[in-house]
Amino acid sequence: MLEYISLFSFIGIISSFAILSENLSRKKNIENTLSGKLLQILTGICAAFIPLLFRNYLLIVLIAFSITIITFVLVYKNYLSALDNSEKKSWGLFFFSLSFLILAILFFQHSPWIITSSFLIFSFSNFFSTFAGNRLAKSFFQITSDKKSIIGSLTFFITSVLIIISFSSSIYSEITGMKLELNTYLLLSAVIISVILTGFKTISSFGFDNFIIPLAAAFLVYILLGNPNNQLLFNFIFGAFLSLIVAVVSYRVKFLTLSGSMATFLLAAFIFGFGGWKWSIPIMAFFILSSVLSKVRKKVNENVETYFEKSGVRDHIQVAANGGIGGLLVILNLIYPNELFYFIYISSLAAVCADTWATEIGTLYKTKTYNILNLEPIEQGVSGGISFIGTFGGVAGALVIACSAIVWIKFNFVYYFLFVVLAGIFGSLFDSFLGATIQAQFECKVCGKITEKIIHCEKNTFHKRGYNWLNNDLVNLAAGIAGGVFIILFKDYLL
């Protein structure tokens, strides 16, 4: 009973402070930024120590789930607007609650110190970086929609290193009964983890850092510090270095925007560092060949670009939509080794590659295009359209991904190629289906064309059909998920 009283007292303190901060912010008694960050660091400390003070797994998960739903409603209804530091709606509190829910489900029962470490790292680093950035920075840069400062980013990095060294080692020793002394391994781990977390902080916007940083911190601390392994740390550092080279070169040759190159560095660090060549070659084949194909198509048929939401130069959202599944799967495979994760990875990659190649090859030259639902002729480049040459391009894209992983396949090649290619085509067609039904489509008020763009002919477009929030990036992500689901359904033929 005492545990229940203590837990609800914790929640009551946080809720009371949230209400007080909101009221003070609305009355302009304190700055919005200071109010929000004080609330954040308090909730972060509470979230950090809840796993160490309470042991009722189901109760914690249930409360975390309830708070996640409540914060979603509060943010969606804009009830916490005074805590935002700009006119844009921030989903920070919701993302924070969601990250705690996920980490509670994954680590609460067997590794509660992971949750403690991750929220201490995030809360203190985020608070001091915001304070330093607002008080000391004289200039700001903008990679995504949120402004950042070099001083703020540097403060975040330094604070992260210090928190990892001081808290993670002591908590690890206390919980596991084993010593994690201050040595070269711990220092290198703290630095590389902090580099990754600072990168996520730099490109995050709309409060997404409240979600991705605790999760990334938890996984990296668990993998690198939970069971120290010199070879694994070396592989990760080497992978991060290789991903940095790929990101810089891609930015210089204009395959990626600045935000896209940073997202590629972060994503590739996980895939290259933890997956080795087995996981790296397929995604490199997709990225390099698809980027070259996009450049060629743009030179040959630039007119079709008017229908697409974004150009062939990929930004951070496109990188996450196409490769984010792979980053998640490589981490899951490291924690829970299973060859199925690799086949899901290859199949999801085959789907996004098939979809990309179907679009690029299908619009390379003028050809007849049909609506996937009723096969009626439509303008080339309009979402939901398919063509014979585009379908052939999709098959070719899926085959490329299948071939890129052939060295690591140990069973029937016929089944492997068949199901990977089918998964790719299924994901590509699913993308076209969504494009023809519920993806957001707009009509230009000037030229009358149907497009994915919000602005066309330098004017705001008119919403024609579909859900406003379902853009091309989310549809691409759905295509990748569809490819992965397809291979799960037929896993008995592969494993």
The tokens describing 13, both together, are: 């303190």
Long-range contacts of 324-330 (CB under 8 A, 24+ apart): 324/267, 324/477, 325/349, 325/477, 325/480, 325/481, 325/484, 326/267, 326/271, 326/279, 326/283, 327/267, 327/270, 327/271, 330/270, 330/271, 330/274, 330/275, 330/279
CA distance 192 to 373: 49
Q: What is the pTM of this model?
A: 0.87
CB 48 within 8 A of CB 123: yes
CB 94 within 8 A of CB 75: yes
CA distance 2 to 139: 51
User: How distant is the alpha carbon of residue 184 from its chain centre?
Assistant: 30
Q: Say how many CA atoms lie within 13 Å of 177 toward its Cβ.
A: 0
DSSP at 168: I
Could you tell me which of 368, 349, 242, 241 has the C-alpha nearest to residue 290? Answer: 349
CA distance 136 to 387: 56
Length in residues, the chain: 495
Question: What are the φ/ψ torsions at residue 28 (nearest 5 degrees)?
Answer: 65, 25
Q: What residues contact residue 173 under an 8 Å CB cut-off, 6+ apart?
A: 179, 180
pLDDT of amino acid 18: 55
Amino acid at 364: L
Q: What residues contact residue 180 under an 8 Å CB cut-off, 6+ apart?
A: 168, 169, 172, 173, 186, 225, 228
Q: Residue 371's beta-bridge partner residues? A: 385
Q: CA–CA distance from 315 to each of 160, 309, 312 (Å)?
A: 27, 12, 9
CA distance 137 to 199: 18
pLDDT of amino acid 42: 76
CB 453 within 8 A of CB 461: yes
CA distance 379 to 371: 9
CB-CB neighbours of 212 under 10 Å: 19
Q: What residues contact residue 114 under an 8 Å CB cut-off, 6+ apart?
A: 103, 107, 218, 221, 222, 226
Q: CA–CA distance from 337 to each of 312, 330, 331 (Å)?
A: 35, 9, 9
pLDDT of amino acid 483: 95
Q: At what angle do helices 2-26 and 57-76 cross, to 10 degrees?
A: 20
DSSP at 305: G
CB 81 within 8 A of CB 66: no
CA distance 402 to 86: 46
pLDDT of amino acid 58: 87
DSSP strands (E only) in 171-301: none
CA distance 370 to 50: 56
Residues of the chain where predicted confidence (pLDDT) is lower than 50? 22, 25-26, 28-30, 82, 84-86
DSSP at 336: S
Q: Residue 462's beta-bridge partner residues? A: 443
**In three state form, how does the secondary structure of 18-43 look?**
HHHHHHHHHCCCCCHHHHHHHHHHHH
CA distance 319 to 247: 11
